[in-house]
Amino acid sequence: SNNSIVSLIFFIPKVTETLRVQGKATISRDPKVLKNHQLKSNLPKTVTIIKPTKVFLHCGKALLRSSLWKPESWPAKRPISTLYEMIEDQTGLNCEIKKEDDILEMYERELYENK
């Protein structure tokens, strides 16, 4: 069955409260809508449009308990596999890029490329 209901949570560094949005999502390929979301010379292929049905603030107690904004509480090493390691595991494909530093470098290099 199709379920178009989505939930979003917005985090701002050093702010303990979050903004939560629930609503109905649609995907648009309308050229006028796509043009409104063009970044540099990159035109998106699709845009997700969300019509909010609920918007509310969430108190910061859970974030305080999690120590999310305290780098000293973060794990020394990445706690999960990289995206490309997961792709290899699940598909059997061989990904050239595996190391976190190489992935970050690629992201920076291709940040505004439309691939």
Residue 30 has pLDDT above 90, yes or no: yes
How high is the pLDDT of residue 115? 63
Q: Which two tokens stand for residue 58?
A: 């969430």
Residue 22's contacts (CB-CB under 8 Å, 6 or more residues apart) are 5, 6, 7, 8, 52, 53, 54, 55
Q: Which two tokens stand for residue 85?
A: 């390691």
Please answer whether residues 93 and 61 qualify as being in contact, where contact means their C-beta atoms are separated by less than 8 angstroms: no
- pLDDT per position as a tens digit, 91-106: 998 888 777 888 888 8
Least confident of 42-46, 83-87, 94-98, 102-106: 94-98
Amino acid making up residue 41 = S
Rg (CA), the chain: 19
pTM > 0.85:
no
Residue 40 has pLDDT above 60, yes or no: yes
Please compute the mean of the pLDDT values over residues 43-59 and round it to a whole number: 96
Please answer whether residues 106 and 97 qualify as being in contact, where contact means their C-beta atoms are separated by less than 8 angstroms: yes
Considering the chain, what percentage of its residues have pLDDT values greater than 70?
A: 97
State the DSSP code for 88. Answer: H
